[in-house]
Amino acid sequence: METAVQLISRSPITNKEYPLPQHTDDRAGIDNFLLLHPGKKVVVVQGLGFVGSVMALVVANALTEEYAVIGIDLPTASSWWKICSINEGVFPVLASDPKISQYYLNALQKKNYYATCDPYAYSKAAVVVVDINLDVKKQSSAIGQEGYSVDMSSFKKAIESIGNNCQPEVLILIETTVPPGTSEKIAKPILEDCLKKRNLPADKIKVGHSYERVMPGPDYIDSIQNFYRVYAGTDEKSANAVETFLRTVIRTDKYPLTRLATTTATEMAKVLENSFRAMNIAFMVEWSRFAEEAGVDLYEVVNAIRLRPTHKNIMLPGLGVGGYCLTKDPLLASWAKMNLFGSAEGLHQSEKGVSINDKMPLYAFEYLRSQYKYPLEGKKALLLGVSYLNDVGDTRYTPVEGFYDQLEIEGCVIALHDPHLLYWEEKNCRVNQNLDELLEQQYDIIVVTTGHKEYRSNPLLFEKLMQQMSTFIYDTIGVLTNDEIKMLSVKHVVKVIGRGDL
Amino acid sequence: METAVQLISRSPITNKEYPLPQHTDDRAGIDNFLLLHPGKKVVVVQGLGFVGSVMALVVANALTEEYAVIGIDLPTASSWWKICSINEGVFPVLASDPKISQYYLNALQKKNYYATCDPYAYSKAAVVVVDINLDVKKQSSAIGQEGYSVDMSSFKKAIESIGNNCQPEVLILIETTVPPGTSEKIAKPILEDCLKKRNLPADKIKVGHSYERVMPGPDYIDSIQNFYRVYAGTDEKSANAVETFLRTVIRTDKYPLTRLATTTATEMAKVLENSFRAMNIAFMVEWSRFAEEAGVDLYEVVNAIRLRPTHKNIMLPGLGVGGYCLTKDPLLASWAKMNLFGSAEGLHQSEKGVSINDKMPLYAFEYLRSQYKYPLEGKKALLLGVSYLNDVGDTRYTPVEGFYDQLEIEGCVIALHDPHLLYWEEKNCRVNQNLDELLEQQYDIIVVTTGHKEYRSNPLLFEKLMQQMSTFIYDTIGVLTNDEIKMLSVKHVVKVIGRGDL
């Protein structure tokens, strides 16, 4: 049975199942696609995840050039359905950005976005954009990471797969967030080795790095096409080639490009950006506790501070930190410092920031347990929000997981709501999108776990909450207003992290 | 001899010496001053330091009301000269802001700014603004603080001095940065006790907190008068009184006031603001090391990141962190958490930030020693900048001190330049303002220690540096451009913290 499951790749969007292919050969498919686009430059995007699939879409809708775009991913259970879906005319990412469907419709009409799993595609590419994942393995799961490891092997394999097939003068543009130093010390040597083994010249290849700043959500496309880009090349010809390419897809008149001296610098810029953000969240965690102890409404305090232009981006802690970047990028940097540059010391402060953030869901759970004075076993709980971020359906490293796990361990009966999700892949369970239906039942505990706009100053939700009886309502995000909390607290126990005891 | 020195208070601005007074009685002076201003409300500003003396000036130039302003400070060696200076027509703060002299001239013409050391002044006040210092004592000096203590005794004494003299319905507006909880748990009870002891009603007194965001420098006055203010009262009548008063002195049409629920909230906002800033500097320290190791120009990287609106305020580390706020405010908060709210845990992360920043000058010195391969004894060193901040003459907790101390221990012969200082009080030594004169000599080591604009892209300075021979030039701030560094490095050894090896 287990083997049978692995031979199937299921689309979480349509629920359609695709048997995995017996082999990767798709020469005919690729050649047929390219016959439709004679003379066009071919851009291959490696990795069809949240960045790659949309980056490919942006390239298929380039501003000043017509490209033939091939998305490539592995024929695995988690990726094969994306390849099939793209070729069947169903975009593999659900997003609230209306530009996504508009761009995808364009690409379908122009027939210039094809997907495959065959590395033969690299042999046709003028540009390969690398958008694969590079994961950090934390020693414990969602909660309380202390140690971690970085495994470069699948990244190296992906680069090898390009090197074994590409033309000698191709531009390899790495967009993946990598440990600083990777393009120069890992990717370029692999590519040169591969070319040498193929008896091809190794000095013509162009390797660059430019990091995306993709925000899934209502501005998904704009976060690629209408935003500042930082880039560099491993040499001048590479940097020039990256610049030329980016100018065709990004609105550089409004958002000028920034060229840095080395790819190590751009790689560092990316992880530094995200470490800065992760640290600014982690910094607030202990202040949130202090505000609770002092009976201070931290939301009020932070809003007052944000009036200062220099302090606009001070953060508020919620249930925790999720997503693909902030949970690992500081660790990639620390790893690189020690493993690529031979330093005896990692980035202690930045690592600590990640570890503080990782512990937040556990703290929220402990807080719930300490405030909700009854045993949790058998209690009915409703979690409002599964995504790690408001207004998107993205469960990657969502802090809701650690919180959910604890409730489950304690024997709670948990219902899940999220307006953007039907299914929670990582937990293998259904998510209900119908809030009205869910709130027809009574719960012992209702926890706001994501700050979706459907939960913010929503009079209908508030009315339904008012109809709950003796329910413990725990708003970890601060979507309820002080007035709403006051009214709810007459009938229910209401707690809000960081707002102090009300 | 030692006693004789203590009986004199010397103005660092005019070098004039004032014998300390035999007694504090200045009833006649105060009464005579008030005779000039019949019917005007009296505002007493307690503390004539960098904040109080200028706040008093702003109140003397209030927007919608004519106040009689009395500045009060202690008749001590460090403060008595300020009182004398104000009454003699010399403002006790040197600043590049032209509004300072304009406002002071106004006040001199209107004769509405008097200074005294007699607490009798409080008996005349409608409003007392508290702008005294509240210091944190670190266990070691400028470098490497690990433990610290907060001594509230002089703050308590100052509040008692008000309570023993004030009218029962006075407004006490605390602007001092205090441990959160201070207004409610310390100041108000003291004031009420004093009034009760004087057989006066204790329920009419108004106590509020509103923190200044004063930035000494070219926008000194505007940082008080044209900037956002956060305020609160210990009760509603107090909050209303604070609001009424602030509206008369601050341009609240352009910078609306923000009222918070409690004084603990505003007190927390202040220390949180500064802790946020201190942490953002501390966060960059380890990244600066990483950039050095990886040969990355961190300035270039940070400038690229700053294009992102959410990351505009990412900091660059320099020689260290100085000034009165960032070096202690996180500790005040941590102290309050444990001592005023009974928490078992302090604010570890925020304390750590201060301790990282405190160690920066030592790191800079160690870096100099490791790069400058000769013994330092007897070497001639020139430090460019003594102030903790660019473009002001303010040496409070300047990180230059820790760096200077180390050079002195090693036996260097040190010359000091600062365009804004003639004298370094804390070190009791002369500062030269004439850069040309200083650079007529040759130095073994020149260190840029403050980022004054006189050092930034100054072709004359650069020319003089080019005339130095085999000098080790160490730019800890990054005022030299990459091109300048390249040219200098032909003749000298040039090192820049955070720019990597050039």
- Residue pLDDT, tens place only, A410-446: 999 999 999 999 889 889 899 999 999 999 999 999 9
Q: B125, B32 in Cβ contact below 8 A?
A: no
**What pLDDT is stored for residue B6 in this prediction?**
62
Q: Given a cut of 70, is residue B452 above it in pLDDT? A: yes
Of A329, A403, A357, which is closest to residue B349 (Cα–Cα)? Answer: A357
Contacts of B186 (CB under 8 A, 6+ apart): B152, B155, B156, B159, B178, B340
Most confident of A209-223, B138-152, B403-417: B403-417
CA distance B397 to B157: 24
**What pLDDT is stored for residue B215 in this prediction?**
85
Q: A471, A444 in Cβ contact below 8 A?
A: yes
Amino acid at A171: L
- Could you read off the pLDDT of A287-333 as tens digits, one per residue? 999 999 999 999 999 999 999 888 999 998 789 999 999 999 999 99
Which of B275, B304, B310 is nearest residue A313 as measured by Cβ atoms? B310
User: Treating both helix axes as pointing N-terminal to C-terminal, what angle do A459-467 and A482-491 enclose, rounded to 10 degrees?
Assistant: 20
Q: Given a cut of 90, is residue A204 above it in pLDDT? A: yes
- In B, minimum Cα distance to A275 occurs at B283
Lowest-confidence range among A94-108, A140-154, A328-342, B464-478?
Answer: A140-154
Q: How far is CA B394 from the centre of its chain?
A: 7
Average of per-residue pLDDT across B67-71:
98
**What pLDDT is stored for residue B500 in this prediction?**
54
The helix/strand/coil state of B137 is strand
Parallel, antiparallel, or unpaired: how do β-strands A136-138 and A148-150 relate?
antiparallel
Greater pLDDT, A436 or A502: A436
Amino acid at A299: Y
Residues of chain A positioned with their CB less than 8 A from the CB of B308: 213, 228, 273
CA distance A319 to A431: 19
CA distance B349 to A353: 9
Residues forming beta bridges with residue B19, ordered by sequence position:
B8
**What pLDDT is stored for residue A457 in this prediction?**
79
Amino acid at A376: L
Average of per-residue pLDDT across A474-489:
90
Question: Residue A290 is encoded by which pair of tokens?
Answer: 């202090």
Helices and strands (DSSP H and E) totals, chain B: 19, 19
CA distance A302 to A498: 11
Is A254's Cβ below 8 Å from some Cβ in B? no
| pLDDT class of B116 with cuts at 50, 70, 90 | very high
Q: B210, B176 in Cβ contact below 8 A?
A: no
Q: What residue spans of B218-314 are helical by DSSP H?
A: 222-225, 236-249, 263-294, 298-305
- Could you read off the pLDDT of B246-302 as tens digits, one per residue? 999 999 999 999 999 999 999 999 999 999 999 999 999 999 999 989 999 999 999
Report the gap between the CA of B371 and the closest CA in chain A (Å).
Answer: 18
**What pLDDT is stored for residue B117 in this prediction?**
98
Kind and range of the H or E element at B44?
strand B41-46
Round to the nearest angstrom and report the end-to-end CA distance of chain A: 53
Q: Given a cut of 60, is residue B5 above it in pLDDT? A: no
- Could you read off the pLDDT of A18-43 as tens digits, one per residue? 999 999 999 999 999 999 999 999 99
Q: What residue spans of A66-120 are helical by DSSP H?
A: 80-88, 98-110
Cβ-based burial of A299 (10 A; exposed 0-12, middle 13-18, buried ≥19): middle
**What pLDDT is stored for residue A14 in this prediction?**
87
How far from B18 is each of A211, A216, B7, B11, B82, CA to CA, in Å?
Answer: 63, 67, 8, 8, 10
C-alpha neighbours within 13 Å on the C-beta side of residue A335: 20
Is A301's Cβ below 8 Å from some Cβ in B? yes
Q: Given a cut of 80, is residue B314 above it in pLDDT? A: yes
Question: Residue B344 is encoded by which pair of tokens?
Answer: 């078992």
Average of per-residue pLDDT across B211-215:
88
Query: B180–A262: do the CB atoms touch at under 8 Å?
Result: no
Query: A293–B337: do the CB atoms touch at under 8 Å?
Result: yes
Compute, in degrees rounded to 10, the torsion defined by CA atoms A380, A386, A388, A390: -110
CA distance B297 to B307: 17
Q: B196, B163 in Cβ contact below 8 A?
A: no
Q: A162, A72 in Cβ contact below 8 A?
A: no
**What pLDDT is stored for residue B140 in this prediction?**
64
**What pLDDT is stored for residue A4 in this prediction?**
47
Compute, in degrees rounded to 10, the torsion defined by CA atoms A468, A473, A477, A481: 60
Q: Which of residues 304-323 of B touch A (CB under 8 A)?
A: 304-305, 307-308, 310-314
Q: How far is CA A453 from the centre of its chain?
A: 19
Q: How far is CA A19 from the centre of its chain?
A: 27
- Could you read off the pLDDT of A320-357 as tens digits, one per residue? 999 999 999 999 999 999 999 999 999 999 999 999 99
**What pLDDT is stored for residue A500 in this prediction?**
54
Interface test with B, best of A178, A183, A296 (most B CBs within 10 A): A296
Greater pLDDT, A4 or B289: B289
Query: B230–A258: do the CB atoms touch at under 8 Å?
Result: no
**What pLDDT is stored for residue B373 in this prediction?**
86
The helix/strand/coil state of B116 is strand
Q: Given a cut of 60, is residue A3 above it in pLDDT? A: no
Report the gap between the CA of A501 and the closest CA in chain B (Å).
Answer: 13
Q: A301, B270 in Cβ contact below 8 A?
A: no
**What pLDDT is stored for residue B198 in this prediction?**
98
What does the buried/exposed string (b/e) look like for B305-328 if buried means 16 or more CB atoms within 10 Å of the residue's CB?
beebeebebbbbbbbbbbbbbbbb
Kind and range of the H or E element at A67?
strand A67-72
Residues of chain B positioned with their CB less than 8 A from the CB of A290: 180, 268, 333, 337, 341, 343, 347
Q: B311, B283 in Cβ contact below 8 A?
A: no
φ, ψ at A81 (rounded to 5°): -60, -30
Average of per-residue pLDDT across B437-454:
95
Round to the nearest angstrom and report the end-to-end CA distance of chain B: 53
φ, ψ at A159 (rounded to 5°): -70, -40
